[in-house]
Chain A
Amino acid sequence: MLAKRIIPCLDVKDGRVVKGVNFVNLRDAGDPVELAALYDREGADEIVFLDISASNEGRATMIEVVKQTAGEIAIPFTVGGGISQVDDMKRILRAGADKIGINTAAVLNPALISDGARRFGSQCIVVAVDAKYNELWGEWEVYTHGGRKPSGIKALDWVKEAESRGAGEILLTSMDADGTKDGFDLPLTSAVSSLVGIPVIASGGAGKTSDFYDVFTEGKADAALAATIFHYKEISVPDLKQDLKSKGVEIR
């Protein structure tokens, strides 16, 4: 039985962690490498870096962050944000990342998924999907550009296409749940998990320990990602894992 994964997500801008970090026991809480190493020690199963740098310099700095992180942590990590070409993927993977997250660029150019998968293997390619419920359609729609633009594409169609093009995982963010702390979007997560044969990482809405239990059971997620609740120590990774274990969830 594979263990369900707990994944802290760090937003990084110009080489610095930018939001929601409140660690007192770190020398430099804005250092993504140090924070990733702390999560590794606490038992996180994976780390996701989301690069929100807007400049080329910022992206170049991210490569340095990746190199240092690869030397510091002993768990897999993913880098996403602004990756639009196979060459970008290559640079980040060569710097030591295990997986690449692609979002808007994949929607605009789905061949990026197949090209990346062929070149580096499906296990490296994480397709990140931002989905929001569309009342008219009665189902979820994919949004791009950091959730600003509706794409007109149905989320369930898109995850199926991503899988058939060789995506290794789906990182599924519910825009409806994100930021609410009312729990993950169980109907969306469960619909996607039931549809695809690749792992689904649920994201958006985590507020309490039981939300993780719900998304692993009812939501059928393979992994769950959160940012602020971990950064602000509202939930600690070791406590969360202990709780899930005690409820019979397979956890490392």
Chain B
Amino acid sequence: MAIAIVDYGMGNLHSVSKAVQRLGFEGIVTGDADIILGADGVLLPGVGAFGDAMEHLRETGLDAVVRQAAASGKPLLGICLGMQLLFSESEEHGKNEGLGILPGSAVRFKGGEGFKVPHMGWNRLEFLQPNSPLLAGLKEGHVYFVHSYHVLPERKDDLVAVTDYGHPVTAIVGRDNVFGMQFHPEKSGELGMALLRNFLSLAKGSENSKG
């Protein structure tokens, strides 16, 4: 049971990898295509700027690897910036093309009275698809967000959970084997760990189905 944590030079992967370990899975921080494609599940974390992240992914060839992992049917989870990268584009520092695995774009929070940017802190999840495997056995609660851009998915049925920050904000997305969490599950207490555990269980399932 190995979970590849994609290392493409963006941010600290220590917390994510420790969280995976604490849940009893083997987390491998790696930029190696073979290890990523051979893993039972793939995590794409990330903090920082969208354009820089895509540049790093392209330079290392990992953009194609992540797309291939998504197409192979193995569970893939993008976290924070990693979720935004799954989409078609972002308007962060001009238009930037994303991985295009899910249709939609990341746009900046408008801010305004009482709504500071970045959206930072604990906010409450509202489950739109209670039957999603990610939400199995869980109750709505607070998780920890830090972001200045938010995703507008093109397909409303890709939305698994939202949070309210003056308007509904995309918090969890999912389609088939591809998932994204805008918040940091590894920093979101019990609920965050439970969400991560649910994702990792899918990887376990995919391992079993291999035979």
Using a CB–CB cutoff of 8 Å, the interface residues on chain A facing chain B are 1-3, 5, 40, 43, 45, 67, 70-71, 74-76, 93-96, 98, 121-123, 168-169, 197-199, 222-223, 252
Contacts and interface: CB of A to CB of B under 8 A. Distances in A.
Contacts of B116: 197-199
Report whether over half of chain A's contact residues are helix, strand or loop; otherwise say mixed: loop
Given A2-B120, A70-B14, A199-B116, 7 more contacts: A5-B122, A45-B121, A70-B15, A96-B12, A123-B118, A199-B120, A223-B121
A40 B144 CA distance: 13
Nearest to A169: B120
Interface stretch (B64-72, B93-101, B182-190): B182-190
A70 B12 CA distance: 11
Report whether over half of chain B's contact residues are helix, strand or loop; otherwise say mixed: mixed
Contacts of B190: 74
B170 to A, nearest CB: 16
Interface string B54-81: 0000000000000000000000000000
A76 B144 contact: yes
Nearest to A1: B164
Contacts of B122: 2-3, 5, 45, 252
B19 A2 contact: no
A5 B122 CA distance: 8
Contacts of A169: 120
Given A70-B15, A76-B144, A2 B165 contact: yes
Contacts of A45: 121-122
Rank and list the top 5 A-B pairs by shortest CB-CB distance, nearest first. Answer: A252-B142, A71-B18, A3-B122, A2-B121, A96-B14
15 contacts: A3-B121, A3-B123, A5-B122, A74-B19, A74-B192, A75-B144, A75-B189, A76-B144, A93-B12, A121-B48, A122-B118, A123-B120, A123-B146, A252-B122, A252-B189
Given A123-B118, A252-B141, A40 B124 contact: no
A252 B192 CA distance: 13
B139 interface: no
A98 to B, nearest CB: 7
Contacts of A197: 111, 116-117
B12 A94 contact: yes
Interface of B: 12, 14-15, 18-19, 21-22, 47-48, 111, 116-124, 141-142, 144, 146, 164-165, 184, 186-190, 192-193
Q: Residue among A2, A93, A223, A252 with the most chain B CB within 10 A?
A: A2
Contacts of B192: 74
Contacts of B121: 2-3, 5, 45, 199, 222-223
Q: Residue among B12, B119, B122, B142 with the most chain A CB within 10 A?
A: B122
A222 B121 CA distance: 9
A103 B144 CA distance: 25
Contacts of A5: 121-122
B159 to A, nearest CB: 19
Contacts of A43: 189
Contacts of B111: 197
A3 B19 contact: no
Given A74-B189, A76-B144, A96 B15 contact: yes
